[in-house]
Amino acid sequence: MSEDLTPATPLPFPHENPTGKIHRTSGVLAGMSKPIKLLIATILIGASLLPATAAATASTRGCRSADLRYPFMPGQPNAFGVFALQIAHGTCTTAHRVAKAWMARFETAFRGAGPLIVPRSVDGFRFKTLPVQDAQVFRERGESGATTISFLYRIPNG
């Protein structure tokens, strides 16, 4: 007795179902509906972006700079000097110390004879002057390793 081992219809391949459609998913997500898969993907993307934005925002802090300002004439408001002092990855004490040293070097050059030379290096920080919107204002950013200090320095015109 010889049996015929070939079936009348061919068996489906492992990646096909009996209806002939190809399964494009496999593994953990295979049995889930499309809205659930979309929800999981959105949560994973959001979770991966959250630490980077939270760390960047939390590391920059504003520091007091009122004592780094001076009036144009005695009795007038303190309208000139350091404003909007900020530091990233450092302390306000460091920002205040470096801004005060930058201010002293700038004022010495500003009041002296000859062309104005803006300080480029103070207390280990390398400074760069950034573009500004207002007249008589210097926007400075100093970097030393991971620490960044930024501030506006307003000068009198008289």
The string of pLDDT tens digits covering residues 98-112 is: 999 999 999 888 888
Q: What contacts 66, CB < 8 A, 6 or more positions away?
A: 78
Structure confidence by residue, pLDDT tens digits, 95-152: 999 999 999 999 888 888 778 888 999 999 999 999 988 888 999 999 999 999 999 9
Evaluate whether residue 41 is within a structural domain: no
* Measured CA distances, 73 to 76, 78, 100, 108, 158 (Å): 6, 9, 20, 18, 10
Evaluate whether residue 51 is within a structural domain: no
Evaluate whether residue 131 is within a structural domain: yes
Total domains, the chain: 1
Give the residue numbers spanning the domain of 111. Answer: 60-154
Evaluate whether residue 120 is within a structural domain: yes
Quote the CA–CA distance of 50 and 31 in Å, as a whole number: 29
Q: Measure the N-to-C terminal CA separation of the chain; round to a whole number of Å.
A: 117
